[in-house]
Structures are given as C-alpha cells and as structure tokens.
Structure 1
Amino acid sequence: MAQLLDERDLGVLTSSMSLLVALVSNNHEAYWSCLPKCVKTLERLARNQDIPQEYTYYGIPSPWLQVKTMRALQYFPTVEDPNTRRSLFEVLQRILMGTDDVKNVNKNNASHAVLFEALALVMHLDAEKEMMSQCVALLGKFIAVREPNIRYLGLENMTRMLMVTDVEDIIKRYQAQIIATLKDPDISIRRRALDLLYGMCDVSNAKDIVEELLQVQMTYKLYLSTADFAMREELSLKAAILAEKFAPDLSWYADVILQLIDKAGDFVSDDIWFRVVQFVTNNEDLQLYAAMKAREYLDKHAIHETMVKVSAYILGEYSHLLGRRPGWSPREIFNIIHEKLPTVSTPTISILLSTYAKILMHTQPPDEELQKQIWEIFRKYESCIDAEIQQRAVEYLALSMKGAALMDILAEMPKFPERQSSLIRKAEDSEADTAEQSAIKLRAQQQTSNALVLTDQRPANGTQPAPQLGLVKVPTTTSTDESTSGQGLAHENGTVAVVDPQPHSGPSPDLLGDLLGPLAIEGPPGTAPQSDPSVASGLEGGPNQDALALAPVEDQTSTIQPIGDIGEKFRALCLKDSGVLYEDVNIQIGIKADWRGHHGRFILFLGNKNTAPLVSVQALILPPSHLKTQLSLVPETIPPRAQVQCPLEVVNLQPSRDSAVLVFSYKFGTNVVNVKLRLPAVLNMFLQPIIVSPEEFFPQWRSLSGPPLKLQEVVCAF
C-alpha cells in the first residue's frame, strides 16, 4: 500500500487512496507507514506541484484526491512525528485561507468539498486554538451566505466544533446569526440551528437563548407551514430542558414553562407539564409563585387546554397559599376555574373535579355557599356516562361530607423521589441517533404505514403515568377498562389511601398532544400493523363522488349508538383545530388539524376503548370535487386499549360550502358499525387574515371609482 502511494500518476493515486480509505477504516494500526505519504500527497496538491491539466477541476488540483486523502488521515488517532504534523497543518492552513466564494457553482462545490473535509481533519487533530478560531470564523461566514447547502454545512460543522475544547466562547459570538437561521425557510437548516443552540447553551447565555426560542415558537405558529409539526415539538422540548438545566432562579423557570404552554400548547407534550408539576411539588419556594402565575393565566379569555390542566392542578394543591386577598379567595379561584369547564375535554374534567375537592379541603372554615356549588357539580356528574368522571364525582361528594377527615384524605401531594428528568433523558436518547439512522428509520416507516399505533404497556400492578389527583377505578362488571388518568386516591378492600402519582419515566408516545386522554397509554409506539391497501384513499375527487360527499349524513342502523350529537361535534370542530369527531362505547375518533393557506393537515386519532381488539377496520375519504385528499394506510386491526394516528392531507382547489365525508367501519364481537362523518375541512378553515392598517386601507378604498363600492352577500355555511 505504501508503494502504491508513491505513484506519480494521479489517476492511479486516486484509486489507491480509495483502497487505503477502505483499509484504514477497518484497521489503521497496520498502515502507519502510509501516513507521511498521505501528507506529502496533500502538500503536492496544495502547492499545485506537477499536477497535469486534465486533473485540475476549475483551477483546483484533483479535489477528489484531496478529499480522500484527508479522510484517510482522519482514521489515524494522531500524527506523532512533529515534522509531519507541522507540514500537515501548513497544508490545512493554506486550504483554510485559500477558499473564496465565486459565482461559478461547480468551482464552489469542489472548493467547499475540500474545505469542509479540511475542517473535519482540523477538529480531529485538535489543532491549536488560533486555527480553531479561524475555523469557527469561516463557519460563521458560511452561516450567512445565500446558498442553503452551504448554510446547512456551516451549522452542522459548527455543531461538531462544540465537541472541541476551548471554542464554545468563540462560537457564542455568532449566537445572533444562529438564532436568525431558526426562521430559515428550509426545515433542515432550522433543525441544525436548533441542535447548535441547544449544544452551545450554558448558564451564561441560557436566558437569552430560551427567550429567543419562545419568540421563534410564536413565529412558527404564525408563518410556517404544516410540515413543521415535529420541529415545533422538538423546539418546545428543548426549550423546556434548557429552562430546567440552566434556570438562574425558580421563578424564571416557572415563567418560561408557562409561557411555552401558553404559546405552543398543541406542541407541548404531556411530559413537559408532568415535569412542571413535579418541579413545583419538590420546591416549596416555588409553590406560591407558581400558584400566582397560574391564577394570572386563567384570567385570559382563551387559553390552551394544557394550561387549564397545569393551572387547575397547581391551584388545587397550593391556592390556599394565596390568602384571601380580593380576587384570590377560594370562591373566586373556583369561579374562574369553573368557567373553563365547558370548553375542555373529558380527561381535563377529571382534573377539575379533583381541583374542586382540593379547594373544598383547603377552605377552612368552610364556605357554605361554595360548598353547595361544588356539591351541586359533583351531583351533576354522578350520572355522567364517562365512568372515570362518574366515579370521581361520587367519591369526592362522599369524601367531602366527612368534615375534618377530608384534610387527612386529600392532604398535599408528597415530594417526588429525586431522579433524572424524563425530558433530559428523552433528549439524550434522541441525540444518540445519527442522521443516517434517522433516515433509515424514516424509510422503514414509510415502507409500512404512516399510521402510528400506541399500545397499552402499563405494568400489571396498574401504576399510572400522569401526575394528576384522581381515583383508581375499582374493576366492576360495568367497567371494561382502567382509567389512565393520574391517581391520587386508591381503593383497596374498601379503604381509601393516599398514593404518590409518579410521572412516567418513559418517553411520551404522542408529541402532538393527546386528544383522547384515557387512550394516551404509556409506552413507546408499537409497529403499525399491515393493512389492506384497498382501504386507503389516494388523491381522490371527481364529480362521481360529489353526490355522496354532499349527501346528509343519516343515523346509521346499528345496535351500537354514538355518544353525543355527531352534528354538534362536527359544528364545534368547524370553529377549532382539535376535538372529538365521533365516539361510541368501543371507539373514539379525534382530530387535530393545522392549516396553511389552501393546505390542511389532519391527524385522525382512532382509539380502541376496549380490552379486546377492533377488527375489520376500514376508512375511506369521499371528497367533493374542490378537495384533494390523501389518507395514510389505516390498520385493519386496532389492538386492545391502543391508539392509532393516521395523517390526512387536504388541498382546497376552489371555494365551496361542501365538505368531505369519512366513511368508517369496524367490527367488535358480532356488531358491525358503519358511520359516515363529515370532516371539518370547511371554507373558513382555509381563510387567512390580512393585517392592513387604516393608513394603508383608506387611500386604496378612496381611489376606487364607480359603483358598486359596497357589496354584501349572505350564505349559509351548513
């Protein structure tokens, strides 16, 4: 091999270097004699000595050979000979100094290929700080160029530079530029920028970076496309982790997390608000401040449901610390929480009932009027069709009549055992994956199905994941499943005991948030079962399907009837982006949607509520002619107590009042259920506001001439 590297012909030498790269990647120990020859080859190329014209590409001496030679050198752990090391660094310095951007794309590509390989070799050899500073300066210049590929490589290599000692302070000089790339149109560049900011964050700059991430989260909400679901989730997760790791004080941490939930509630996983509860519970100095901030957020007219959960839990535990100042009394706190009850989903109602019981417990001496109000609510929900809510209402009502004994039964939650944050553990797990591994996983998922199945993997002892105060259901003949809502009280042989609701330590299976509540079962996502390709709808449309798509959805003849009014659920979803589309005793179909211009993206949540599988599951979209839809494959079987997520893409081609229809069927036991459900992909969802100031609007309005200057038409939407 060493003799081959003495070859003067660059064609033979290029082939020999390819062989060397393959050999040293397997075992470098046998090829130390080749190292100085590689350095001499680089010297010859860098100085353009004896390089035939046919091996010069746009004035660059054999860039392919330069790249292969530097790659071979990176398989050797070090360069021990001082003369060889000095010669190598001189060559690398020449490459770093001699690369300029030009208008010729081909020359730029070749020179940058050589340059980025040289940067990788400099990092590998752990060069002097002066050269490392020069490398960071070059990368900082690349971050600002117009060419997206160069920006991407600049961010990627700067992230690698973080592993080199003594360069973090140099990289921090480019913090503003890196933050600016978080708004880049290319999602790949935004991901690299987020990774870099996450890696370079420490106590000195954490406050600035986290606050910028919160602002960027709002920018994403306003401007970016539906392709940014995962990006916004990742940004929320990393902002929460940085706030926890580098918080200068506890109150700042509370402010950041509550702002995050307020601005990006749809993209805040349950793990984040579970961690907030754990953090507040374990830090007594934070409890009063957290209760005050939760009370302030509840004053807002419209807040995300996750904020309702967090605020209700914190105020249930610590509202008594606020005292009885005007606006902070137990009755006023109860009233402002109770105002949110009509707007929340079933799992959140369970948390609110627990909060009401806690407020009663903390109100000493008892407020008779408040007590009557809360008892009336408990009595109302004693006949609720949801078994979890019904049982909480029955038992809280009975407990609240025990007088002083209630103080012992509903005492404050004890501190959680100290453990590593589940958020940090999740981030560390995700960082272990390389880009290549991620691509392989993505391709494997695309080859099977886009549907994500979440299966019940709870321990046999019934340990529950969510840090909420509630009741563990006692198995009865009328209940076929256990609640997965958090527990604070457990029935055991007729007695009541306080238990510590530990947040689950595994990664949250649903980063988009959970529409189904009790069906968000702990555990990693399972593999999506293979489904019948005939079930999926492709890009459909056409006049032949319009008649069915526009037809009124009639009640289906089946022994299994829907829970609630299907029409009301549809109309409610026409005014908001998430909620329940259909529910019966066996299944719950939820929707989460995101809209950008004439494009819409749904996530259909199909949740099996039973302990037996649902089989012969089929779903078909029948769109009118103005809509194009694409539904991912739907598994033919939904496992017991599992949730399936099926993406659905919708493109609106022209204005219309018509809506698409989801034809859905399944079999449970001897019952076959067929339903037709209107999808809330209606005209108002595709509208976007245009913000125009009076100074801009009226001059254009007055410039119009001739009638009609005003035109009004009233149409019926449904």
Structure 2
Amino acid sequence: MSQMKGLVQFITDIRNAKEQEQEHKRVQSELVHIQKQFQQSNLSGYHRKKYICKLLYIYLMGHDLSFGMSESIALAGSKVYSEKCIGYLALSIFLQTQSHNMDVVFDLVHSDLSQQREDFICLGLQFLSAVAESDIHSQRFETEVFSLIRSPVSSPLVRKKAVLTLLQLFKVDPLLITRNPTFATRIVPLINDPDFGVSVASVSLVQHIAKLAPELCTNCITLVVEKLHKVVVQGECPENQKYYGVPAPWLTVKLFQLLETLVPDIDVVPVDNANMKLIKTILQRAISTAISQRQSLSLEARHTRDFILFGAISLAAHVDPSPDQLSTAVDALCQLLESPETNIRYLALGALGKLATRNESEVLDTLDRHNEQIFSLLRDRDVSVRRLSLDLIYIVSSPQNVEDTCSRLLEYLSVAEFVMKSEVAVKIAVLAEKHATDANWYVTTMMRLISVAGNYLDEEVRQRLIQIVVNNDSIQPTACRLCYASLKNGSFPESMVKVAGFLLGEFGHKLDVPLEQQFDLLYGYYPQGSVPARCILLSSFLKFYHHSELLRPRIIELYEQESNSFSAEVQQRSLEYLKLTSGTNQTLLSLVVVEMPPFQSNISPLIPRLGNVSQLQQSFQLSLPQAMASSSSLERPRSPTKKVPPPRPRSRKNTGSVASPAVTSFPTGASMDSSQAFSQFSHSSTIDSTLSASWKEGYYRQLHYDQGIFYEDTIFKIVYRMKRDRAVLHFDLTYSNKSAAPISGLTCSVVSNIVDSSDPGYIVNILQHPESGIAPGAKSVQKFDITVRKPYLDSEVPTLNISFMCGGYSEHKLRLAAVLGKILTRGSPLTKETFFARWSQVANLSGSESQKVVKLKTCTSTAIIGRAVQLFGFNVLPGIDPNANNIVCAGILSMAAGGAGCLCRIETNPQDSRLFRVTMRCTMAGLADILVGTLVDLLNNI
C-alpha cells in the first residue's frame, strides 16, 4: 500500500480538506479521473489495483458509486496475488450495492477453486464465506467446497478454510444438510485430523450440523472423547498449539462444547461405558489440574486453565460425573468467586448455576456450605454478577431453606437498585409458592413482599397471589386480615391497595371486622389512587354494596360523582354499577357480585419471568428433531415448568440355575412345503439394502464358528473372537491396517435393530473402542458384550457400522451374528427313554413346537450337518433316534429373563440327501420358531 503514491496522496488530500464542499469536490474530480483511466485499453494491473483502492476508500467514506464492479472482476481475475486479493476485497464490498454480473463473479470463484495454487483457492474460499447470504451461494458451491475438504491433495490450510466456508453455507442454508446427508459422515473424521487448525474448524462445523441433524453426528462421540483424552490426559499436542504451556486450550473447550451439544442430558442420550469412563477421566484431570496449578501459574496461564475449567464443569453438568468430582468442582468454582476479576466471578457463577440445575444432592449440599459467599455477591459492583448470584440462590433453594432464603431476599429487596427489584420480587414470589409448606407463612411472605417491593412489583405477582387465595378457602381469612392490618398501619404502596381492594371485596365478610371499617380504609385511599386502582376499588365497593345496607347510600353517591369522571374507564364502570344498584331487579345484581369461582389454570405466569434459570433448564433438553426421534425409547426429560417439583433427588447411577427341560413324543404331522416363505425369520430387506455388499461371508462365518475372519479387503481386516457366558456374548474385534497409508478417523459403532426399544431383547455394552488412528501394519481392538434378555428375531441382530479415512472415505455396514441361538449351551447327555419322555412333555405346551422342511442347494452328508449343529451350540445325542441317518440334539438357552430347554430332531431323506425336516420343541412359547429359522439359515449356508 505504501508503494501506491497516488493513493497515499489522495488520502492526504481528503484528510487535509477543511470543508465538506472541498472534500466533495476532490472526490468528484478523482472519480472523473478514475473513469477516464478505466477506459484505457492498456491499463496495467498495478494501476487498476491503485484505482480500485481509491474507489474503496471513497465508498467507505459514505459516497455512492455507480461503477467499479467490472474493473473489480477484472482485477480479481489477475494472476498476481496482490491484485487478486484487492479485487476480491472490492467485490465483497461492491456486491452490497451492485448485484449485477453475479454469474461472472460465480464463474471467477469456480475458476479459482479449481486452481492448483493454494493461495488462489484460499482467496476464493474467503470471498465466498464473506458474501454467502442465501441458498443461491450454497447450491452453487456446496459440492465444490466439500470436494476441497475430502480431497487427499488439499493442504491443511485449504481444508481449514474449506471447512469454515462450508460452515457459513450451512448457516445461510440449513437445508444443505438435508440435500447432502452424507456430508456429515465424511466431515466427522476431520475432528481427529493431525493438523489442529483443521480439527478446530471441523469441531465448529460438526457442532452446527449436530444442532441441525443430531442423528447424523452420534458416531462422533467416540472420536471427540479420544481426541480429548489425548490432549487433556496424555498431553499430545504440537508445541505451536500450546498457549502458556496449556495444550490446545481452544480445541479442548470446543470439544467440550461439542459433547454438550451431542449429549444434552445423559438420561436422554446415553453414553456407552467405555466412553463414559474416558469422559470422567478427562473431566477429573481437567478440573484437578486447573485447581492444583492455579497458584503457581502466570496470569495468562491461569486464565487459560480457568477457561478449560469452566468448559469441563459445564460438560460435567450434562454427563453426570461422580459425587466426589461434583463436590470438588463446586469447591473450585466457589474459590473463583473471590477473584478480583469480574469476568471470572461471572463465569464461575454461570458454571455453578449449570451444575445446580441438575438438582444433584452433592452439588446442592456443597453449595449450602458456601451460602454466605453467594449471598454476598448480591452486593457486587457489577449488575451481571448480581443477576447470576440471584439466579443461583433461586436454583439452590429447597423446602428446607426457603424461609431463610426468602427472608434474606426481602431484606436485600429493600436496598436493591431499581434494575434488580423486579427480578428479586419475581423470584421471591415463585420460591414462596414453589416450596411453601405452611399456608400462613406463604401469605405472610407475599404480603411482606408487596409492602417492601411497593410500586416496583409486577402485576403478575399480584395476580398470582390473588389466584392462589381464591383457590384456597383456608387462607382467605388470613389474607384479608393481613391486608386490613397493612392498610390500618397507614404506610402502604398502591399494589397493597389493589390486593386489599380485591380480597376485602370478595372475602371481607369472613372477618370479624365490620364491613363499614373496611370500607372506610379503602374509601380513604380512593381519591389519591391511580385509575387502575380506582377501577378495582369501584368493583370492590359493589360487593360491599351487596353485603351491607348501611354502606349503600355512600356507595351510590360515589358512583354518581364518578359518572362524570375525566377517566373513561372510571366513568364507564361507575355508570354500569350505578345502573345495577338503581334497578329493581336484585337477581341481576346477585349474579354480578357472586363470589369469584376458583381459577382453572394452575400454571404460574411467573415461570417465564425467571430468565437465565429457564435457559439453563432448557440447555439439558434435546433439539426438536432428536427429541422427536428419542421420545419413544428414552426417558422423558424433566419439565422446566413443573409447578411443584419433588424434593432434592439423589444422584442417578448408571446401574439361577436352569432346570432340565421337560420334553414329549415324536411328531407325525404332515410336512411343510419347502417353498413356503419363512418370513418372520428372514433377514429384513430394509436392513439388507443398507449393508455392505460382502457382509454375508463374515456373517455366516460367525454363525458357524466362534472365531475367524469377519471382514477383509485390500485396506483392512477384521478378526473376531466370540465367547459365550450364559446370557452374555463377549465380542473381541481386531482391526488390522493392510494398506501402506495410515487409517484415521476410525469409528465403529454397534447399532441395535430391536423393534421394541422400550423392552429390548438384548443390550449392547461397549467395553473398549478401537483407536481412531491405525498405522500401516498396526492393529487395534474393540470389545463389547451383548446381554440377551429375552427372545428376539434374527432380523433384529445388531449392525456394526464402520467408517474411516484412508486416502479417501470408506464406510462399511456389517451384520453381527449375535442371533438368539448363539447363547445355546450343550445340555447333559440324555438316554433314549429320557429324551422321548421330555419330547412328549414339551408337546403339550402351547407354542412349543416348530417344524420346517428344507431343501439344500447341494448334497450334504449327515456328518457335516451334525458337526454344524454341534458347533452352533447343541449337544448331538447319538443312538437316540431309531433311524441312524437322523440327528437328535438338545441344548439349554440361558437368557437374563430365564432359561429354556430345547430339543431338536433333524430327519433326512435317503432318496434325496438335500432334503430334510427340522423339528424343534422348546419349553418357552415362540422360541422354537426362532431357533428353527436360525438353524435352517445356518444349514442353507454351510
């Protein structure tokens, strides 16, 4: 810029102008000169850049421009970086007023994004993110920007800028994720990118996608947790990413925030045990490090540690850590409340509020010990700190301390400044109603609140008090007595007159005090009251008119006087009431002055006035799309508007022999046609359509054997090992990298396909996730258990979803052979007589038998079939069947809900070795159908 002498001289002339007219004249002469220069055909890039800079300066001074767009486009198309940079800068500004030539601009950006030069690509991305403000931009560039992200040849700088540009496109066009749902699965692995700049940008993008479509980002929880563990616990971080010795603080906090978005409440979005164990380790290390090193660190390092501490505690409020960790976190935050820096006190109060919102007893009990410290912040010099301390006092209140809390808040209300009085009054009113155990105490507290708050009291508070008194007969005399006493003392605000006017008019006749004395008190205030207060008193006097004949002349006289009032509302009421009292039809008057019926609504109108408290409660709720998807199978989240919450709950914790089967007689029923469909046991076509093309080989290998190769291709191999432990199947999967390139962003999730998620047939427990990065020739292990609770169909077995980056993006969906029959154990050897006796007994049970005729594709010997059945889990019993070609076997199925005995007979056809009949009898209804389907599927794929 310093080399462009003409530009420097022009700016100097403008600054030296003493009058606006002189400045305007200089600008106009320069605009004429620039227009003449632009008309030259041999204008150099340097001079075009200089003149564009002058136009930018003129535009920023507030002058309108009618030209310059075409020249800016020409400059942006230059092959010189400095010229292209100024051209894009001018276009980003001129497009705000000159929207023509958009197609030319788009073509220019397309050209730069397809360049091989990194600096040109970055300029194009930066320009696009600056001007994108509608779905037009996203639809034109979404695919191209995404290609830069996934391209293996893109540099970290280009990928980082492309990620941030895509984030801007998502912001201006949320439907982008609907058009391209696969974007999410390919962006998520970037969280573990070796370049921390790309990782930080990717976390922001994934968090935004998670808010739009949470179901697309659930698999990234494992990647986030692993990345946090490496940075926070293991300290793996490049030196250039450390800030005052703290490893990657920005990435750490962003990952904490992403986890909060993915897991707003651990009760609603469960986290598997393997990830939860790591999360607790991460939080414990982050919190303990921030506390232990606080005194020995420099100011900058201390602020950085505090930054991470607040992020960790905010996440802790969502994932429900251990009680000891909660208490430690609260003590650490309460220490920060003594900080001389306002920002630290403010953030500490915010974190404490988020922890306390969970209503964990450990948090509330620890906060009780710091009660005085929290109350002292009500007199902090910063109003934001005072507001947060008031919110925290409200959150930690309970039936045990509500009386003391309300009393102290009433004392503070009398000295609070104007901006706080309304908020304090609302919270006192809600606390008194929410936790009151004594009706008289509630009425007394509310009357005291009205007296102290005075004219700063919101109308909703007065209306809510009246609603509660009307709905509770037992407190009506007390409320009227307190109102009368307050008026009699002579010092009271107008809000007290409004409450007293209504209550004495409605229930004053229930007091021992004569109505004439009550009327005198109210009438004495009437002349000096505001119009709303006088309107309430006029209505109240009508009720006095109905109850007391002695007061009728005075009341009629008042109505006659007010019928000429300057206030239209007062005049109208007076005329209407005068008409009622002067009429001869007393029945109509009786209908008008009938006692107020109970209010139907029990929802307090003050709840929406709680401000930050409501926002904290809503932060633990799911976004709408995820909430709708989860409502059928997960616990219902707590309601933030519940009127009477239960007492403080305790913290939530994530928490027989089988008799010989009886059996009966060999069947002689007609055989079934082998061509009939066995629909209830066939694989779901919907599930099959989403599985990888080569899933069957590994699935049937698992069905036959308890260890072997589950999947293999040119990039990686999966070896499985399965162990049976009664109702539990233990899976060990070993992932091996066969390629010459490293595998990154590996996610392996076990997805349940149970139809009835409210009462699932099995439960998956993740014990260990594989590492997200596997070097060439290296291995990583995944461990999980599947606990069988009750019978389920083969079509409901879980799916293993695998995704990773290795040169490009790869995704595989494989079916685990965790069928019900896999928990079969061999029963004890049976004699011929015992077997047929039990066979006959089981036949008497309803739904105990299933039979199917099967024709195999190839001829198979009886020995091979017997071996397959025995490997599956049955105990083959030789010498039981009179026909030596038949196979008889028995087994025990152990489930968490109970065991069942299974007897099986396989009859072969001597004329056709491919044809045989399977008959199964089980002591549990419906179980035989499932096992026959599995066994037939097994034999068809020997």
Measured against the shorter chain, the TM-score band is: 0.5 to 0.7
In the other structure, the counterpart of 2:244 is 58
Change (3 A) 1:123 1:379: closer
Change (3 A) 1:125 1:382: closer
Kept after mapping to 2: 8 A contact 1:280/1:287: yes
Amino acid of the structure 1 residue aligned with 2:273: E
Kept after mapping to 1: 8 A contact 2:357/2:616: no
In the other structure, the counterpart of 1:614 is none
In the TM superposition, residue 321 of structure 1 has moved relative to its aligned partner by 1.7
* Number of aligned residues: 415
CA distance in structure 1 between the aligned counterparts of 2:237 and 2:467, rounded to whole angstroms: 69
In the other structure, the counterpart of 1:548 is none
Amino acid of the structure 2 residue aligned with 1:63: P
Change (3 A) 1:436 1:271: closer
In the other structure, the counterpart of 2:608 is 426
In the TM superposition, residue 239 of structure 1 has moved relative to its aligned partner by 1.5
1:211 to 407, 431, 447: 407
In the other structure, the counterpart of 1:131 is 325
- For residues 138-153 of structure 1, the aligned pairs below 5 Å read 138-153=332-347
DSSP-derived class of the 2:599 partner: coil
In the other structure, the counterpart of 2:437 is 248
In the TM superposition, residue 149 of structure 1 has moved relative to its aligned partner by 0.9
Change (3 A) 1:141 1:33: closer
In the other structure, the counterpart of 2:205 is 22
1:334 to 519, 526, 532: 519
1:385 aligns with 2:566: yes
In the TM superposition, residue 286 of structure 1 has moved relative to its aligned partner by 1.1
2:365 to 163, 169, 178: 169
Change (3 A) 1:281 1:32: closer
Q: Over residues 173-218 of structure 1, what are the superposed CA-to-partner deviations in whole Å (9 max), with x where a residue is unaligned? A: 3232222212222111112112222222221222222222222211
In the TM superposition, residue 373 of structure 1 has moved relative to its aligned partner by 3.1
DSSP-derived class of the 1:219 partner: coil
1:236 aligns with 2:429: no
Q: Over residues 298-343 of structure 1, what are the superposed CA-to-partner deviations in whole Å (9 max), with x where a residue is unaligned? A: 12334221211111221122222222xxxx3222222222111121
Amino acid of the structure 2 residue aligned with 1:312: G
In the TM superposition, residue 431 of structure 1 has moved relative to its aligned partner by 5.2
1:91 aligns with 2:285: yes
Change (3 A) 1:50 1:289: closer
CA distance in structure 2 between the aligned counterparts of 1:175 and 1:14, rounded to whole angstroms: 43
If you compute each CA radius of gyration, which structure gives the higher value, 1 or 2? Answer: 2
In the other structure, the counterpart of 2:536 is 351
Change (3 A) 1:84 1:259: closer
Change (3 A) 1:62 1:359: same
Change (3 A) 1:168 1:344: same
CA distance in structure 2 between the aligned counterparts of 1:4 and 1:286, rounded to whole angstroms: 61
In the other structure, the counterpart of 1:311 is 500
CA distance in structure 2 between the aligned counterparts of 1:24 and 1:346, rounded to whole angstroms: 53
Change (3 A) 1:102 1:303: farther
DSSP-derived class of the 1:336 partner: helix
1:416 to 598, 602, 608: 598
CA distance in structure 1 between the aligned counterparts of 2:593 and 2:436, rounded to whole angstroms: 29
CA distance in structure 2 between the aligned counterparts of 1:44 and 1:170, rounded to whole angstroms: 27
- For residues 475-554 of structure 1, the aligned pairs below 5 Å read none
Kept after mapping to 2: 8 A contact 1:28/1:75: no
Runs (5+) with no aligned partner, structure 1: 438-718
Change (3 A) 1:34 1:377: closer
CA distance in structure 2 between the aligned counterparts of 1:169 and 1:219, rounded to whole angstroms: 29
TM-score (norm 1): 0.52
CA distance in structure 2 between the aligned counterparts of 1:188 and 1:253, rounded to whole angstroms: 29
In the TM superposition, residue 144 of structure 1 has moved relative to its aligned partner by 2.7
Kept after mapping to 2: 8 A contact 1:123/1:161: yes
CA distance in structure 2 between the aligned counterparts of 1:73 and 1:411, rounded to whole angstroms: 59
1:375 to 556, 571, 577: 556
Kept after mapping to 2: 8 A contact 1:237/1:423: no
1:111 aligns with 2:305: yes
Kept after mapping to 2: 8 A contact 1:144/1:151: yes
- For residues 433-472 of structure 1, the aligned pairs below 5 Å read none
CA distance in structure 2 between the aligned counterparts of 1:376 and 1:319, rounded to whole angstroms: 22
Change (3 A) 1:18 1:361: same
Kept after mapping to 1: 8 A contact 2:287/2:309: no
CA distance in structure 2 between the aligned counterparts of 1:411 and 1:341, rounded to whole angstroms: 20
Change (3 A) 1:32 1:391: closer
Q: Over residues 458-495 of structure 1, what are the superposed CA-to-partner deviations in whole Å (9 max), with x where a residue is unaligned? A: xxxxxxxxxxxxxxxxxxxxxxxxxxxxxxxxxxxxxx
Kept after mapping to 2: 8 A contact 1:79/1:85: no
In the other structure, the counterpart of 2:379 is 183
In the TM superposition, residue 294 of structure 1 has moved relative to its aligned partner by 0.7
Change (3 A) 1:241 1:382: same
Q: Over residues 521-578 of structure 1, what are the superposed CA-to-partner deviations in whole Å (9 max), with x where a residue is unaligned? A: xxxxxxxxxxxxxxxxxxxxxxxxxxxxxxxxxxxxxxxxxxxxxxxxxxxxxxxxxx
Amino acid of the structure 1 residue aligned with 2:244: Y
Change (3 A) 1:289 1:50: closer
In the TM superposition, residue 434 of structure 1 has moved relative to its aligned partner by 7.5
**Identity among equivalent pairs (%):** 25
CA distance in structure 2 between the aligned counterparts of 1:379 and 1:69, rounded to whole angstroms: 73
CA distance in structure 2 between the aligned counterparts of 1:143 and 1:419, rounded to whole angstroms: 40
1:81 to 271, 274, 278: 274
RMSD: 3.4
Amino acid of the structure 1 residue aligned with 2:596: P
In the TM superposition, residue 424 of structure 1 has moved relative to its aligned partner by 4.0
DSSP-derived class of the 2:600 partner: coil
In the TM superposition, residue 25 of structure 1 has moved relative to its aligned partner by 5.3
Kept after mapping to 2: 8 A contact 1:281/1:413: no
Change (3 A) 1:73 1:310: closer
TM-score (norm 2): 0.40
Runs (5+) with no aligned partner, structure 2: 1-187, 210-215, 264-270, 620-942
Kept after mapping to 2: 8 A contact 1:240/1:257: yes
1:280 aligns with 2:469: yes
DSSP-derived class of the 2:411 partner: helix
